[in-house]
Amino acid sequence: MSVEPSTKPASAAGTVDLGDLTVNRMAFGAMRVTGPGIWGEPADRDSAIAVLRRAVELGVNLIDTAASYGPEVSERLIAEALHPYPDDLVIATKGGLTRPGPGQWQRDCRPETLRKSLEGSLERLRVDRIDLLQLHTVDPAVPLEESVGALAELQREGKIRHVGLSNVDSRQLAAARKIVPIVSVQNRYSVADRHTEGSLEACEREGIAFLPWFPLAVGDLARSTGRLAEIARAKGATAAQIALAWLLRRSPVLAVIPGTSSVEHLEENVAAASVELSEAEFGELSRSAEAYL
């Protein structure tokens, strides 16, 4: 049993600003439209295309991807499914992680690598400018100032509209903001995993959008049998919907990007925008990260 989606439920969660762009807070992460292990082509290409198109039909107007998803597969599928893009659709991608092989992720945030990655993303997404380019990680072998400086230069060249960061702490965010305006931070965060709370609080203070990755803890929250599941049953929702509803209530600067390769799960996730938690329910889940068990 789950809360059924309405015609455009994504808008029920409200909006968040990415610089001069405004998007619905219920968004979509396009990592899992690729093959197993985020490697290669999807097993069912038609289904992957259907998920992307259905997301837009449901009112999602922010799709998050990365050059490393596939690698390159996710970006190509987005273009195949949605180009020419609706006027209000924002596509965010990332550079800074490379894929030597299946299950392998390698940091490379050198300016020349970021430029090459960006040029590839432009071609695969069939655009002249990336709406939001996020530094996928901080590379310990490359000064953060050099990596962010490279993105600032690409922005000056008109190839990037806005710059974001991923996997950063509040100190790194502050350092990057001295170089270029930062409109978003994407860190791992969920009701069960709040180790980047400091970064979220910094984003709240500065009015920067926060995009939590793994918002369902790699599916663990969807399989909850504890208090999260009890609240879900009482509301006629799923545990995943309650976990997403908690995130949407946690902060007005937060936009959630759950990913899936299933239209059914997509519709379930997007419908979480219509789920309302009481003050008591939100407080109970907020007090204990173990409440989802």
pLDDT over 70 at 291, yes or no: no
At 150-178, the pLDDT tens digits run 999 999 999 999 999 999 999 999 999 99
Say what the pLDDT of residue 217 is: 77
Of the candidate ranges 61-70, 105-114, 153-162, 190-199, the one whose mean pLDDT is the lowest:
190-199
Proportion of the chain above pLDDT 90, given as a percent? 88
* Confidence check: pLDDT of 43 > 70: yes
Which pTM does this prediction carry?
Answer: 0.94
What does the pLDDT read at residue 226?
A: 81
Q: Which of 5-14, 94-103, 254-263 has the lowest mean pLDDT?
A: 5-14
| Catalytic residue set | 69
Residue 210 has pLDDT above 60, yes or no: yes
Print the SS3 string covering the chain. CCCCCCCCHHHHHCEEEECCEEEECECEEHHHHCCHHHECCCCCHHHHHHHHHHHHHCCCCEEECCCCCECCHHHHHHHHHHCCCCCCCEEEEEECEECCCCCCCEECCCHHHHHHHHHHHHHHHCCCCEEEEEECCCCCCCCHHHHHHHHHHHHHCCCEEEEEEECCCHHHHHHHHCCCCEEEEEEECECCECCCHHHHHHHHHHCCEEEEECCCCCCCHHHCCCHHHHHHHHHCCCHHHHHHHHHHHHCCCECECCCCCCHHHHHHHHHHHHCCCCHHHHHHHHHCHHHHC
CA angle 66, 68, 71 (to 5 degrees): 120
Six token digits for residue 111: 């300016």
Band of residue 224 on the pLDDT scale cut at 50, 70, 90: confident
The CATH architecture that domain 9-218+251-258 belongs to is Alpha-Beta Barrel (3.20)
User: pLDDT above 70 covers what percent of the chain?
Assistant: 94
User: Looking at residue 206, what is its pLDDT?
Assistant: 97
Q: How far apart are CA 58 and CA 50, in angstroms?
A: 12
Indicate the domain borders of the chain.
Answer: 9-218+251-258
220 confidence band (pLDDT: 50, 70, 90): confident
pLDDT digits (tens, 9 = 90+) for 233-279: 999 999 999 999 999 999 999 999 999 999 999 999 999 999 999 99
